[in-house]
A and B are shown apart, each in its own frame.
Chain A
Amino acid sequence: MKSWISFLLPSDEYKEKKMLYFFSEGAIVLLLSLFVTFICSRFMSLDVETVLFLHVGLFVVYVLGRYIVSGIEFTDIATVQEYKKELRVVRIKSIGFTVIFFLLYPLVSGVPADMSSWIGIFLFSALAGLMMFFINCTSLKRSYNRNKELM
């Protein structure tokens, strides 16, 4: 089936089907949320930028959350050895992400003038890295638990 969304979808048909469900569910949740916001906007004043940001966040968090919890990311991890090996990869990737984030953040937001700003960026980078580690770990654990049942 030809569609412009195909480039966002994996080649495996089961994963493709699941991802289509997640995107569709996310779109329906977003539509409902926009509808509720539209009604609320008649009774209170809402900041447009904040509302738009929250809705984008809602869609991203919903789709990403469903993807992580479904356990379809690590399709080949089914044994303890594979799980431990992949966990090491996740750890290294998260550290790499933290370092790159720390180096690139000042280029985007401007080089900090004092030490406290540097510490702030470091803490922010560490938090982003921790988030990435937590997300990947959850996805890996869910995938592993699912796959070992299917062996």
Chain B
Amino acid sequence: MKNHVKVTRMSLSITQEQLAKRVGATRQTIGLIEKGQYNPSLQLCIAIAKELNKTLDELFWEVESE
């Protein structure tokens, strides 16, 4: 699943490790989410969105270009 987690995290100067600790996941899980290799649960999506001060739409909604 494509998402904007990595771009948003980097714009806030947060490391994968810091984000992982704040949302109760591992660095590997955050890396997998950013690469689109793992689809997180809604609970984890919300936790990430809250930490990055974004809505779920802004982070995870894929808008098809016309």
Interface, chain A (partner B; CB < 8 A): 11-15, 72, 75-76, 78, 143, 146-147, 149-151
User: How many chain B residues touch the partner (CB < 8 A)?
Assistant: 17
- Nearest CB in chain B to that of A73: its residue: B28
**A143 / chain B contacts, CB cutoff of 8 Å:** 28
Query: Residue B35 at the A interface, CB < 8 A?
Result: yes
CB-based contact A78/B27 at 8 Å: yes
Smallest CB gap from B28: residue in A? A75
CB-CB < 8 A to A75: which residues of B? 26-29
CA of A13 to CA of B46, assembled, Å: 14
B44 in contact with A150 (CB, 8 Å): no
- Which residues from chain A contact B44 at a C-beta distance below 8 Å? 13
User: Chain A residues near B32 (CB, 8 Å)?
Assistant: 14, 150
Query: In the complex, what distance in Å separates the CA atom of A76 from the CA atom of B28?
Result: 7
**When A and B form their complex, which 5 residue pairs have the shortest distance between CB atoms, in order from nearest?**
A150-B31, A75-B26, A75-B28, A14-B29, A12-B26
Contact B28 A147 (CB under 8 A): yes
Q: Kindly identify, within residues 19 to 39 of chain B, every residue whose CB is under 8 Å from any CB belonging to chain A.
A: 24-29, 31-32, 34-35, 37-38
Apart from A14-B29, A76-B28: 15 A-B pairs, beta carbons within 8 A:
A11-B24, A12-B24, A12-B29, A13-B44, A14-B26, A72-B28, A75-B26, A76-B17, A78-B31, A143-B28, A147-B27, A147-B28, A150-B28, A150-B34, A150-B35
B41/A13 in contact, CB under 8 A: yes
Q: Given the complex, which residues of B lie within 8 Å of A150, measured CB to CB? A: 16, 27-28, 31-32, 34-35, 37
Counting chain A CB atoms within 10 Å of each CB, which of B16, B31, B34 scores highest? B31
**A15 contact set on B, CB distance < 8 A:** 26, 29
Query: Is A76 within 8 A of B27, CB to CB?
Result: yes
B25 touching A12, Cβ below 8 Å: yes
18 A-B residue pairings within 8 Å (CB atoms): A12-B25, A13-B29, A13-B40, A14-B32, A15-B29, A72-B28, A75-B26, A75-B29, A143-B28, A146-B28, A147-B27, A147-B28, A150-B16, A150-B27, A150-B28, A150-B31, A150-B37, A151-B16
